[in-house]
Amino acid sequence: MPQCIVVTSGKGGVGKTTTSANLGCGLALAGYRVAMIDGDIGLRNLDLILGLENRIVYDLVQVIEGECKLKQALIRDKRVEGLYLLPAAQTRDKNAVKPDDMKRLIGELKETFDFVIVDCPAGIEQGFKNSIVGADRAIIVTTPEVSAIRDADRIVGLVEAHELPEPELIINRYRGGMVARGDMMNKDDILEILAIPLIGMVPDHEDVIISANKGQPAVFDEASVVGAAYRRITQRVLGEDVPMPNFDRQDEIGFLATMKRWMGLAAREAV
């Protein structure tokens, strides 16, 4: 059955767009037909992360206002079969779209696609409401930082208020070295606070920036640890039981590691 997944977080800059792009590409690589919607009207970025920014002709607002057909606005990603992007408008504001419009649009997309991925904007206002209204399932992205977790908790409440099933959590930018030193909340600390099921963890790694620079999501890169993390997330989204690797680096704990850090011998956070 077709499914619409909204990727949300509350706080900005935690990796919603990167997650949406990688999940969308991951699902397409697994053989599904996927439509990705950039829900961030006025501040679109999913096109850039996917490397499709030069191919935009029409956008979501134009589809809703009837200026073009849905099919015309969908950009086909040539890297993988069955992957499409519906870009956001860049010069309009988010009030140009109403929740009912989004619901109708997503319903239409679900007739031809297996998955519709909505990249939700930051915040809890109109853009959030538009993004969540057509969703069957919500994925919340957070980082191990107090501000991101607080906002994620707020989103958990709002998702439940929209009568969606319990949202699933992705912990992004996890730094094993800091966790090992006790300077970053670990997986269990975060799950204790947010109390929703974990669907994936992504290490804080330079691959994320490099793949954004290129417009090529890490999930395409077989050698990337970030890509591997997103491939596992994709499998879990599809219902497979994939074990969570341990990102907590034990080698950085203890007296010797501290001495090394002081002397500048240890790598400053390679992961």
Chain residues in the site for another protein (CB under 8 A): 145-146, 149-150, 153-154, 157, 179, 181-186, 189, 192-193, 253-256, 258
What 3-state class would DSSP assign to 59?
Answer: coil
**Nearer of residues 32 and 247 to another protein, judged by Cβ:** 247
Distance of CA 92 to the CA centre of its chain: 23
Q: How far is the CB of 255 from another protein (least distance, A)?
A: 4
Q: How far is the CB of 256 from another protein (least distance, A)?
A: 8
Q: What is the largest CA-CA distance in the chain?
A: 65
Q: How far is the CB of 249 from another protein (least distance, A)?
A: 15
Closest CA to 121 of 144, 100, 102, 146: 102
Q: Looking at this protein, which amino acid is placed at residue 154? A: R
Q: How far is the CB of 258 from another protein (least distance, A)?
A: 5
d(CA 250, CA 155): 33
Residue 244: which H helix or E strand, with range? none
Q: How far is the CB of 208 from another protein (least distance, A)?
A: 23
Q: How far is the CB of 158 from another protein (least distance, A)?
A: 12
**Nearer of residues 10 and 26 to another protein, judged by Cβ:** 10
**Nearer of residues 222 and 262 to another protein, judged by Cβ:** 262
Residue in the structure block whose two tokens are 């600390």: 189
Long-range CB pairs of 67-70, under 8 A, 24+ apart, other chains included: 70/105, 70/108, 70/109
d(CA 176, CA 247): 5
Residues 6+ apart with CB under 8 A from 239: none
**Nearer of residues 110 and 175 to another protein, judged by Cβ:** 175
Token pair in block for residue 223: 């050698």
**Nearer of residues 106 and 185 to another protein, judged by Cβ:** 185
**Cβ contact 199:35 at 8 Å:** no
Q: How far is the CB of 48 from another protein (least distance, A)?
A: 32
**Nearer of residues 246 and 258 to another protein, judged by Cβ:** 258
d(CA 145, CA 162): 26
Token pair in block for residue 33: 């037909």
**Nearer of residues 166 and 240 to another protein, judged by Cβ:** 166
